[in-house]
Structure 1
Amino acid sequence: MNIIRLKGGIGNQLFQYAFGCAQKENEITVKYDISSFEGYRHAFRLKYFNVDIENENTDLFTKTKPFKPWFQGSKNIFKKVLKRFSIYFEDIFYIKRKVIYSRKSYDSRLLKVDNKFFDGYWANSKYFQNVLPSLRKDVCIRQEFYNYDYSELRKKIEQSTTPVVSIHIRKGDYLWEENTKIFEEISLDYYYKSLDFIYKRIGEFTLFIFSNDIDWCKTNFKYNKTIVFIDDNYTLEDYHEFELMRLCNHNIIANSTFSWWAAYLNNNSDKIVIAPRIWYANESRQKKHERNGFIPEDWIRL
């Protein structure tokens, strides 16, 4: 049996859940540890979806520590050489550890090992691309969590006489000092160019704007199309907004796993998904991001 720790917001929780679904395809029993949500700023959100979550709380982390090279922090001239050997040997022993911490690169071995505890984000669609049909079927809101505003907006999208395009503008926590050092602040120019690209492809459309700072969007976002701002006039939870975003015909995402997943699970076979070319402000993170193929090949990057 494998245990996978769930943590982060909806987007990160979905990466971890999908990683477990892919392991189940190899006849591995998978349970999920949700203990990290106790006292955490993010809440466990997958309980609102039709997903198969078998919970296994565990204190395994208090007993196990990640691998760290003995020379870490060394200033001597052999550091680079030692680091190369460390990477080589860590790769050999990586799969043998009881607790496996995620790395940026895809590792197919992780889908087949058993009796492990996994702690990480597993943010690579190669892990779960084979279970995408079942993810699209299961990751939808349980009907008992529908409310009036969600149902009315859903109807508005489904009955629209023009294609509906979603835009996700991430502000709020992304403007905190610690996050500005990590994530690129996406300019309005990116969104305008994305909308112009879509207009040239499909013609007229209706625009739904989602944001954690919708007042900023109302003040600063100017575009000559029908716009529906998902604001405080609607009583919606984050999982409602996620589902509405997913139901739109086309998606313009932020550098956010929340809108990444909404676009990824979008069932429209003709969908246009546009993602920001620069995801991270940190140069080394951005280079890893580009190498690891985080953005699906059929998406547009602007």
Structure 2
Amino acid sequence: MGRRCALFTGDGRLGNQLFEAAFLDGILQTGDRLFATGMEEFLNGFDWERVAVRNREDTYKRRGFKRWLRRLGRMAVALRLVDGIGQTKQDFASGERHYLLHGSDVVQKRGIFSRFLYVDKGYFQSAEFAGEPSFRLKDEHKAAARAFLARLPAGPRAFIHVRRGDYRHWKIFDRSPLLPMSYYLRGIEIIKAAAPDTQFILLSDEVEAATAELGLSGLHVFSGQNVYEDLAMMTLCDGGIISNSTLSWWGGYFCGRKLPLISPRGWLATGLGFEYPAGITGPWMTPIEP
């Protein structure tokens, strides 16, 4: 059949783009071509050699163009001209309210010109979709984290990623996604039980507030110059405590995993009896109640 050509219009910041790229990495073959929009944060920070990518930067002025591309791709799939693949939606119930959101399955459709593939909008935020991607963080982004770690006392290293910032003003299932500090403190105790001499490294978009709330003696604080340096620090640790953030998820995925990797049970749906996004908890995680 020869090399395939795929079209995908990405959304979100680096953590979301990593999930999107991982899904694409799993369905495309070496040498396939990807025409994309909105994947620039991922492409600027990661080496991805097996797929030839041409990306158009996603700006506010180009949102109309992205919507037009999606309509065109969906029409081509509906007319069975090209192959199509997309993430299905499922019903999530919280109390008396129901939410139709992306689920844990995909649907595929075959077209006449199977060399061409349209990948519909989706974040693909599950451990199964992530698979074992071939891309890796560019080495240039690891220098600051390596220099910081070299100055620490001996012992295993665990990161603590506290997400605040925009989460203070966002709601999902009509609730705030903010995790209580007690979640992080319980995670610290679990890791200490596994390795008492662990050095803990805090990363947060509100470093001063998080440091004060944790009240942990001997805590090391790392603030990278950009999101890639923060991610690099997480990947160079032996384990850690992740927030319900996609960036944190990938920090945990790429870290050494020699220590427990604590995650919030339910993720963005803590205490509701289900997990959202569905399937986001990986088998390498130790989920606990926040």
Instruction: Give the secondary structure class of the aligned counterpart of 2:220.
Output: strand
Give the distance between the partners of 2:53 and 2:203, measured in 1 at CA.
31
Q: Per the alignment, do residues 11 and 248 of structure 1 end up closer, same or farther by CA in structure 2, a change over 3 Å counting?
A: same
Q: Is the 8 A contact 2:84 2:108 kept in 1?
A: no
Aligned length: 253
| 1:301 corresponds to | 287
Residues 266-290 of structure 1 deviation map (CA, whole Å, 9 limit, x = unaligned): 234x331110114225887x73527
Aligned pairs (5 A) from 1:91-110: 100-103=85-88, 104-107=103-106, 109=108
In proportion to residue count, which structure has more strand?
2
Instruction: Give the secondary structure class of the aligned counterpart of 1:12.
Output: helix
Shift of 1:185: 1.6
1:241 to 230, 236, 241: 230
RMSD value, Cα: 3.5
Shift of 1:3: 1.7
Residues 223-282 of structure 1 deviation map (CA, whole Å, 9 limit, x = unaligned): 24x211124xxx5211101011111111100000011011011234x3311101142258
Give the distance between the partners of 1:201 and 1:271, measured in 2 at CA.
7
Q: Per the alignment, do residues 259 and 177 of structure 1 end up closer, same or farther by CA in structure 2, a change over 3 Å counting?
A: closer
- Residue 258 (1) aligns with residue 247 (2): yes
1:197 to 179, 190, 193: 190
1:289 to 258, 276, 287: 276
Q: Is the 8 A contact 2:262 2:285 kept in 1?
A: yes
The one-letter code sitting in structure 1 at the alignment partner of 2:9 is R
Runs of 4+ in 1 over 6 A off after TM superposition: 95-99
| 1:20 corresponds to | 24
Residues 174-230 of structure 1 deviation map (CA, whole Å, 9 limit, x = unaligned): 001556945522111111111111111122211100000001112221124x21112
Shift of 1:20: 1.2
Shift of 1:123: 1.1
What TM-score results when the alignment is normalised by the length of structure 1?
A: 0.71
The one-letter code sitting in structure 1 at the alignment partner of 2:274 is K
Give the distance between the partners of 1:198 and 1:2, measured in 2 at CA.
43
Residues 130-154 of structure 1 deviation map (CA, whole Å, 9 limit, x = unaligned): x34x3xxx322242x566x444224
| 1:215 corresponds to | 208
| 1:126 corresponds to | 128
Residues 65-85 of structure 1 deviation map (CA, whole Å, 9 limit, x = unaligned): 49xxxxxxxxxxxxxxxxxxx
Instruction: Give the secondary structure class of the aligned counterpart of 1:21.
Output: helix
Give the distance between the partners of 1:210 and 1:8, measured in 2 at CA.
21
Instruction: Give the secondary structure class of the aligned counterpart of 1:186.
Output: coil
Q: Is the 8 A contact 1:3 1:56 kept in 2?
A: no
Q: Per the alignment, do residues 198 and 49 of structure 1 end up closer, same or farther by CA in structure 2, a change over 3 Å counting?
A: same
- Residue 170 (1) aligns with residue 170 (2): no
Instruction: Give the secondary structure class of the aligned counterpart of 2:267.
Output: coil
Q: Is the 8 A contact 1:4 1:117 kept in 2?
A: yes
Q: Is the 8 A contact 1:164 1:207 kept in 2?
A: yes
Give the distance between the partners of 1:97 and 1:24, measured in 2 at CA.
15
Give the distance between the partners of 2:137 and 2:265, measured in 1 at CA.
28
Q: Is the 8 A contact 1:141 1:243 kept in 2?
A: no
The one-letter code sitting in structure 1 at the alignment partner of 2:119 is F
Q: Is the 8 A contact 2:8 2:121 kept in 1?
A: yes
Unpaired runs of at least 5, structure 2: 57-61, 73-77, 89-102
| 2:8 corresponds to | 4
Instruction: Give the secondary structure class of the aligned counterpart of 1:236.
Output: coil
- Residue 139 (1) aligns with residue 105 (2): no
Q: Is the 8 A contact 2:86 2:121 kept in 1?
A: yes
Between the aligned residues of both structures, percent identity stands at 18
Q: Is the 8 A contact 2:19 2:124 kept in 1?
A: yes
Residues 96-124 of structure 1 deviation map (CA, whole Å, 9 limit, x = unaligned): 987655331233758xx752133210112
Q: Is the 8 A contact 2:163 2:204 kept in 1?
A: yes
Instruction: Give the secondary structure class of the aligned counterpart of 2:7.
Output: strand
Q: Per the alignment, do residues 64 and 24 of structure 1 end up closer, same or farther by CA in structure 2, a change over 3 Å counting?
A: closer
| 2:220 corresponds to | 228
